[in-house]
Amino acid sequence: MTKEELLALDQANIWHPLTQHKTAAVPIAIASAEGNYLYDMERKSYFDGISSWYTCSYGHRHPVLIKAMKEQLDHLHHVVFAGMTHEPAARLSQSLLDILPENQAKLFFSENGSTSVEIALKMAFQYHFNRDEKRPLVVALEGGFHGDTFGAMSASGLSVYNGPFEDFFIDVRRIPVPTPDNLEQVLAQVDQLAQDRQVASFIYEPLIQGAAAMKMHRPEELDIVLKRWQHHGVLTIADEVMTGFGKTGSFFASDQMHSQPDIICLSKALTGGIMPMAITTCTSKVFEAFYDDELAKGLFHGHTYSGNPLGCAVANAAIGLLESVPIQEGITQITASQKDFVQSLQSHQSVASIRSKGVIMALDLNIQMQRYGYQRNQIFQWFWNRGLFIRPLGNTIYLVPPFTTQQDQLKTAQELIIQFLDGISSGAIFKI
């Protein structure tokens, strides 16, 4: 198929995500991917600076992951997971529990980050219901994002995504991200919200709020807030869909706190981008509230592709990669490079603020702009034309490179960012 034929079919038939089709540019036609690069139909390469939405953490088409999928195809590619099981799921359950926070005990499978959150919220509501308490409220952090299904949207605080649907949401209250300056006020809010025993769960993105333009917060204050919620009998839900599997420098962002969540949501890098898969994990305490002779106390939630054998086999191989020496060394090297890069740009006149955590680096430009406006699109195109794929969030530019990124590849991406910042300062790109 030629590029022209592909785009003609696309424009005639396809509705793309996060797109206003009347004003959007024609989508970019990607022909293939290999390692840390995407290739268009003219075979021009583009460094995948965001690991394709934080998912392809081991690069594209990693041979270990491809081999695992191909080998599994020879045995079992799909089977109903209600009332059946299989070896890939059993193996994955053990390898995942081996690296999760030690209080996690059970895994519930689904297909994407939003559904992993949906399941977590339902677990929390029914946990209290099964214990003869009706708790209709969820508490979330201001600025959080948890997905696009209704429960996940309800917990999210970004109206750019949620506006038309807010009248239909579950009841969610929001508290500020805790900091050293506001911790006592946040704890007072927690105590006030919890006093009438109406709150079922507290959901949060640990350490980094991704869709809120990579806002980063400290573990120390969050740790104290988690402990306070748990003191009140509220289940805590860590949304690690973005932060999970090594991106913050530890296997999970939750590893950097003493208070461990009751429920964890996982997806994205779980399978390294090879297969759609998500998992919601929970403690024995949560599971035991559903373990009963009464049928209705079970969690009656299911997806056709839950526990898909191909996804399980690939995820198991991905965990092996994550634990391997080369990948851990890659994470360490990228983390150090991002820290040095942040230091070098602290006083740049085009930078309003800059930060890093693990392999993630984000900077806010000294420019006000719409999240998905014309200037944001200019920024995207500037970098794309020079072989770097990033997706700015308004005036925020960020990198979440694959763990397989070589130092020269990361240096090239960082140098492009510096070139861009210098262009803003000189007025060569657009004026502040």
Q: What is the CATH number of the domain that holds 208?
A: 3.40.640.10
Signed CA dihedral, 78, 311, 36, 280: sign only: positive
Identify the domain boundary among 323, 357, 373.
323
C-beta of residue 254 within 8 angstroms of C-beta of residue 260: yes
Distance CA 246, CA 142 (A): 25
**Left, alpha or beta for 172 (phi > 0: left; psi -120 to 50: alpha)?**
beta
Dihedrals φ, ψ of 246, to 5°? Answer: 95, -10
Rg over alpha carbons for the chain, rounded to the nearest Å, is: 22
What's the domain count of the chain?
2
Whether residue 432 is contained in a domain is answered as no
**How confident is the model at residue 267, as a pLDDT?**
98
C-beta of residue 321 within 8 angstroms of C-beta of residue 58: yes
Please check whether residues 335 and 219 belong to one and the same domain: no
**How confident is the model at residue 432, as a pLDDT?**
43
Whether residue 431 is contained in a domain is answered as no
Say which DSSP state 253 is in: G
Residue 151, both tokens: 């429960």
C-beta of residue 112 within 8 angstroms of C-beta of residue 278: yes
Please check whether residues 140 and 253 belong to one and the same domain: yes
HSE-CB for 16 with a 13 A CA cutoff? 16
Please check whether residues 118 and 143 belong to one and the same domain: yes
Helices 309-323 and 63-73 cross at an angle (nearest 10°) of 150
Please check whether residues 185 and 309 belong to one and the same domain: yes
Please check whether residues 40 and 69 belong to one and the same domain: no
**How confident is the model at residue 430, as a pLDDT?**
67
- State how beta strands 137-141 and 172-175 pair: parallel
Residue 347, both tokens: 């006083």
pTM: 0.96
Burial of 356 (0-12, 13-18, 19+ CB in 10 A): buried
**How confident is the model at residue 418, as a pLDDT?**
97
| Cα pseudo-dihedral 13, 18, 20, 21, rounded to 10 | -20
Place of tokens 């939750």: 254
Distance CA 214, CA 357 (A): 10
Q: At 390, is the secondary structure helix, strand, or coil? A: coil
Distance CA 50, CA 397 (A): 10
| Domain coverage including residue 417 | 3-61+325-426
Q: How far apart are the first and last CA of the chain?
A: 43
Identify the domain boundary among 279, 308, 323.
323
Q: At 374, is the secondary structure helix, strand, or coil? A: helix
Residue 402, both tokens: 């694959």
CB atoms within 10 A of CB 415: 11
Identify the domain boundary among 271, 293, 323.
323
**How confident is the model at residue 368, as a pLDDT?**
83
Please check whether residues 9 and 133 belong to one and the same domain: no
Which CATH number belongs to the domain containing residue 408 in this structure? 3.90.1150.10
Please check whether residues 218 and 80 belong to one and the same domain: yes
C-beta of residue 396 within 8 angstroms of C-beta of residue 349: no
Please check whether residues 280 and 165 belong to one and the same domain: yes
Per-residue pLDDT of the chain (432 residues; tens, 9 = 90+): 999 999 999 999 999 998 999 999 999 999 999 999 999 999 999 999 999 999 999 999 999 999 999 999 999 999 999 999 999 999 999 999 999 999 999 999 999 999 999 999 999 999 999 999 999 999 999 999 999 999 999 999 876 667 788 888 999 999 999 999 999 999 999 999 999 999 999 999 999 999 999 999 999 999 999 999 999 999 999 999 999 999 999 999 999 999 999 999 999 999 999 999 999 999 999 999 999 999 999 999 999 999 999 999 999 999 999 999 999 999 999 999 999 999 999 999 999 999 999 999 999 999 888 777 788 899 999 999 999 999 999 999 999 999 999 999 999 999 999 999 999 988 887 654
